[in-house]
Each structure stands twice: as C-alpha cells, then as structure tokens.
Amino acid sequence: MAALRTLVFPGPSIKLPPVDALPLGARIAVAREQDSFAVSSSGGFVPLRHLAPVANVEPEFVAVAERFIGVPYLWGGKSSLGLDCSGLVQFALTACGIKCPRDSDMQESALGKPASLAGLQSGDLIFWKGHIAIARGRNSIIHANAFHMAVAIESVAEALARIGAAGNQVTSVRRLK
C-alpha cells in the first residue's frame, strides 16, 4: 500500500459502501485490474493509485513519519489508526527497507551509531527512557506521544524542557547514516 489508508469496495465504484479498510503497509494479492481498481484475490476492489509494488521502498523515513502527523497516540499501536513512539519509528524505517525492532529500548541498542544533541541532524533518533523521537533537523522532532495524544511535530527545546521537567533525560542520540 502506498496510501496512509485505503478502503476496499465490493465492486468497481467508490460510491459503493466500503467492506474493509487497509492501513499503509498492508499487502494484498492482486488477481487482476479493472478500470481504476485492483481486484484482490478475495474479490475486493482497491483504488490502483493507493497501491505500490511490494518491492518498492520509500526513500526517506522522516518523510514517511511525517505522513502520520495527527494520527492518534495509541500505546502499542502500529497503524494509521493509532501509533506509539516506537511503532512510528518501526513503521517509518520498515517502509524504507530498514529492519527495526519493535520497542524503543531494543531500537536504542540496535539502531545506528552514537551522535549528539549538539550536532542533531534530520533522521537522528533521540531516546529517553521508554520514548523515542525522530529529529527533523536541528530544531524539531516528530514523535507519537501521550502529551499531544497524537503524532506531532515539536521543537527540540520544548520537548527537552517538557520531558526533562517530568524527570526524564535523554539517554542517547543515534544516527543511522
């Protein structure tokens, strides 16, 4: 799937009531194409423009994460219906063909090489105990968090101050490249 979400229709018309919904990353077996739809092996009709070949990988994981802005925070969530911080990172990296463990503590020990807050670059991963955020550059991050109850962009300074005031300090910064 290339769209954040798509609907599955019982026939080749968007005016029919949908029978299912699929999240970004869902895989479907396409039996054939009809008009502007892919017909799945189970008979559902999915808009062709929402699909991408399985072999396709996204070029930039920060951009993938940004597509989820506003998606509700859901502890343990891993779809466009709800995400937690490590689910957002796992989803974004996986979409780019980068293997990524599920939980933030495993991500911290498995991903990248040490970096620093002072030299923060787009794509750096910032870790706190039980939390992870993705740097969008020196001054902002994107993360799924319970403060905003959504995937949100926040300034690095505000996030550090807010999370620090709650007694949680940065444990590491990791750079993938």
Give every CB contact of residue 37 below 8 A, 6+ residues apart in sequence.
9, 12, 45, 46, 47, 48
107 burial level (CB within 10 Å; 0-12, 13-18, 19+): buried
- Taking the C-alpha atoms of residue 137 and residue 66, their distance in angstroms, rounded to an integer, is 13
Bridge partners (DSSP) listed for residue 143: 152
For residue 86 the two structure tokens come to 């490590």
148: annotated active-site residue? no
Report which DSSP code applies to 79.
Answer: E
Active site residue 50: no
Among candidate residues 50, 85, 96, 148, the one labeled active-site is 85
Q: Which of 50, 96, 100, 143 is catalytic?
A: 143
Residues marked as catalytic: 85, 131, 143
